[in-house]
Amino acid sequence: MLIGIVLAAAILALTGYFTGTEHRPVKDVGRTSLTGHATVILSGLSVGFESAVYTAIVIGAAVFGAALLAGGSGGLALFAVALAGCGLLTTVGVIVAMDTFGPVSDNAQGIAEMSGEVGEEGAQILTELDAVGNTTKAITKGIAIATAVLAASALFASYTQSAFAEAGRFAAEVEESFVVYDAKLIVGALLGASVVFLFSGLAINAVGRAAGAVVYEVRRQFREIPGIMEGTGRPEYGKVVDIVTRDSLRELATPGILAILAPVAVGFGLGVGPLAGFLVGAIATGTLMAVFLANAGGAWDNAKKLVEDGHHGGKGSEAHAATVTGDTVGDPFKDTAGPAINPLLKVMNLVSLLIVGAVVSLSYGDDENDLLRIAIAVLAAAGIAAAVYVSKQRESQLDDEVGGTPAQSPPPAPVETP
């Protein structure tokens, strides 16, 4: 449990360094805004990639340290890892407080800016609080992925124990399917890693589609409702709220189907060993991907705050426009895809634990039935393919949803680059 508490403190320090405005990574991202939008994106990606490595090392050290305390006992190692997760969660009060502070400070700053009734000193204080909130949100996301890894490690160990227990007299054959040089196990690991990438892509693409629909709707209202900017015309807020609410619920289906059916397809299609490789690949890739997305997004957001604080030309400058682009890219990174990987890992491990008995039963012994096993795998894979296909088809419906076409929208004003 002490290892878990130390892990929380280590993640807090690491994430604070990579996303805080007073540290070099965010300052470097802000400095690259002087050379344009592309360099801001590149520097933010670099911060995210680098931070993921160090965070993964810290989490791996915590899991390894907890397992070492078991003295070679597999069951006790599982118990120790679970206790490390409990130790990490003893800081839940601080975690919830930090996670809540971010949205509150962010919305306070936004409301104050829209009201136009806050002086320069008050606006500066709110901007600084918002920057701190961005860092605290990134910290809680880092701790969340650490808890997901610890929980997934415990569930994975339970999965392997259940596989051997269900195998009975065929335990030796099941054990052979777990060897790391088995080609099917390597394929399973690749599939597990690919699920994380597909899941992240679906989540980010969903945000892009919804944001595009909102942009077209806002342009339509500017075009058809005169006096919005002057305050004499009232925007149709409900239509924008309807777009984001409907899309958020509708887009949830495909990632959810992927998380549930992917272990079923791999387990029944390739076997119990490759499914173990699938889980390992998903845990390893998901850890790195989640931290990368969260920290890259936080660095972009705080780089924008740094420029708004008066650095590199301040608000309204070309540097500010570049950091706004970075922040816009970072929002689906840190607020959508990154946090969603945590439940993805837990759900896939839990589904695998639930189906391992059926997988072993249909693969070995008197109840072996390769035809039924393959049929289940094919149906699961077909369900995933159908969900992804339907999700992709929604792109063509964008124009109809917003009541206009991109061709009707006014072209953006040209920006002169010095």
Whether the pLDDT of residue 394 is over 50: the answer is: yes
pLDDT tens column, 122-160: 888 888 888 888 888 888 888 888 888 888 887 877 887
Q: So what's the pLDDT on residue 395?
A: 58
- In this structure, is residue 298 part of a structural domain? yes
Hey, how many other C-beta atoms are within 10 angstroms of the C-beta on 333? 26
What letter represents residue 209's amino acid?
R
Mean pLDDT of 66-95: 84
Mean pLDDT of 245-271: 89
- In this structure, is residue 204 part of a structural domain? yes
How many C-alpha atoms does 161 have within 13 Å on its Cβ side?
A: 13
Can you say whether the dihedral through the CA atoms of 388, 392, 398, 401 is positive or negative? negative
Q: What is the DSSP letter of 232?
A: S
Residue 266, SS3 per DSSP: helix
- Measured CA to CA, the distance from residue 293 to residue 289 in angstroms comes to 6
Report if pTM > 0.85.
no
DSSP 388-408: HHHHHHGGGGHHHHHTS-GGG
CB 136, CB 19: distance < 8 Å? no
Mean pLDDT of 201-227: 88
CB 341, CB 285: distance < 8 Å? no
- In this structure, is residue 418 part of a structural domain? no
CB 78, CB 69: distance < 8 Å? no
What letter represents residue 188's amino acid?
G
Whether the pLDDT of residue 38 is over 90: the answer is: yes
Domain count, the chain: 1
- Measured CA to CA, the distance from residue 18 to residue 21 in angstroms comes to 9
Let me know if 398 is exposed, middle or buried by CB neighbors in 10 A (0-12, 13-18, 19+): middle
Residue 411, SS3 per DSSP: coil
- In this structure, is residue 415 part of a structural domain? no
- In this structure, is residue 417 part of a structural domain? no
Q: So what's the pLDDT on residue 397?
A: 46
Whether the pLDDT of residue 413 is over 70: the answer is: no
**Domain interval for residue 341:** 2-408
